[in-house]
Amino acid sequence: MSPTAVFVSGANGFIAQHIVKLLIDKNYIVIGSVRSPVKGDELVANINSPNFSYVVVPDIGVSGAFDEALKAHPEVTVFVHTASPFRFDISDIEKELLTPAIEGTKNALQSVQKYAPQVTNVVVTSSFAAIGAFRQYEDPSKIFTEADWNPITWEASLDNAGDGYLGSKKFAEQAAWDYVKTEKPNFKLTTVNPPYVFGPQAFPIKNKKESNTSSEVVNALLKLSPSSKIPETHHLFVDVRDVAAAHISAFENPEAAGKRLFLASAPWSSQGIVNIIRKNFTELKNIPVGEPWKDNLYRSATYKFNNSKTIETLKVELLPLDTSIIDSVQQILEAK
């Protein structure tokens, strides 16, 4: 029997590169979509396997975006849709965040149903942003689970780029579940809903200055000076290697079909990350001390969660924050 072929959209992304790497390690055939041949060629060089190839899909938000790619690859039986804009340096929320996220998801599902009826599973990378984390929802007694939906409205998501991102993930995920409900396609749908994803890049870092949005949280702390104020930011986290593995379990494990996999490991705060860096990288003299004890305060003020259903389905133990931070910092320091 020939190995399963998996299509991964946005294959050059932070999370997607780990998914592709793991799929190749597990002997799958992988077809990744990227926006340009330059990005595809870089990925081919890093992955260095005859089982990986790429197709160019310049904009997932354009109707029929994946049609040609799927017509050209009738061997694909699993579609993993990770591509979605995760950036805040934008000027038009609807055009740059909402439309590519929502239409991109619909386009992926439509192309699969129309041109790849042999696909058995579709996995969509959603987010904790689709579960909770909107301003008025920050209720300290609230425990977020797989059943929760962010109450953000379309109007509120047009307010600023941060809320635009929350809306983009909520409405894109809703569109995916609605599609399956109304169209009843051949495939089973699973979503993966992580909060902030930290951890090392899948391949050695070539450009220290530019990193994806969530990795930049850690990267930015490394650039502080001893007198810098540590940001008061805090939220939930999960390691990128756990997120990648969950995308694969999402189609390998029949129990994951039709579910939202809420993948959160633990709360984090910038002060807490600084504490981990200072303890493990004593050679870094630029990192400010801040107020180390405040980490507890921030972490207890962040979102409470119960993702036992997901943990039961996946039967995994998620990596702790210190492992994730130590591995990321080590990799950044090794970069030229």
**Distance (Å, whole) CA 191 – CA 122:** 8
Tokens standing for 61? 């938000």
Q: In this chain, which of 60, 78, 274, 314 binds ligand NDP, going by CB under 6 A?
A: 60
3-state secondary structure the chain: CCCCEEEEECCCCHHHHHHHHHHHHCCCEEEEEECCHHHHHHHHHHHCCCCEEEEECCCCCCCCCCHHHHHCCCCEEEEEECCCCCCCCCCCHHHHHHHHHHHHHHHHHHHHHHHCCCCCEEEEECCHHHCCCCHHHCCCCCEECCCCCCCCCHHHHCCCHHHHHHHHHHHHHHHHHHHHHHHCCCCEEEEEECCEEECCCCCCCCCCCCCCCCHHHHHHHHCCCCCCCCCCCEEEEEEHHHHHHHHHHHHHCHHHCCCEEECCCEEEEHHHHHHHHHHHCCCCCCCCCCCCCHHHHHHHHCCEECCHHHHHHHCCCCCCHHHHHHHHHHHHHHCC
Select 10 or 164, whichever has its Cβ closest to ligand NDP.
10
Stretch that binds ligand NDP, among 5-13, 133-141, 279-287, 289-297 (CB under 6 A): 5-13
35 contributes a contact to ligand NDP by CB under 6 A: yes
Select 169 or 299, whichever has its Cβ closest to ligand NDP.
169
Select 169 or 259, whichever has its Cβ closest to ligand NDP.
169
* CB 80, min distance to ligand NDP, A: 10
250 contributes a contact to ligand NDP by CB under 6 A: no
Select 15 or 112, whichever has its Cβ closest to ligand NDP.
15
CB 110 within 8 A of CB 70: no
Stretch that binds ligand NDP, among 152-160, 192-200, 251-259, 300-308 (CB under 6 A): 192-200
Q: In this chain, which of 194, 199, 267, 290 binds ligand NDP, going by CB under 6 A?
A: 194
Q: In this chain, which of 66, 86, 134, 298 binds ligand NDP, going by CB under 6 A?
A: 86
Select 216 or 291, whichever has its Cβ closest to ligand NDP.
216
13 contributes a contact to ligand NDP by CB under 6 A: yes
Cβ count near 141 (within 10 Å): 5
179 contributes a contact to ligand NDP by CB under 6 A: no
CA-CA-CA-CA torsion sign (242, 97, 189, 13): negative
59 contributes a contact to ligand NDP by CB under 6 A: yes
Stretch that binds ligand NDP, among 79-87, 220-228, 264-272, 308-316 (CB under 6 A): 79-87
Select 12 or 328, whichever has its Cβ closest to ligand NDP.
12
* CB 169, min distance to ligand NDP, A: 6
196 contributes a contact to ligand NDP by CB under 6 A: yes
100 contributes a contact to ligand NDP by CB under 6 A: yes
Stretch that binds ligand NDP, among 48-56, 84-92, 113-121, 313-321 (CB under 6 A): 84-92
Select 288 or 316, whichever has its Cβ closest to ligand NDP.
316
* CB 311, min distance to ligand NDP, A: 18
Stretch that binds ligand NDP, among 12-20, 23-31, 222-230, 251-259 (CB under 6 A): 12-20
For 174, phi then psi, to 5°, come to: -60, -40
**Distance (Å, whole) CA 63 – CA 316:** 38
Binding site for ligand NDP (CB under 6 A): 10, 12-16, 35, 39, 59-61, 82-86, 100, 125, 127, 169, 194, 196-197, 212, 214
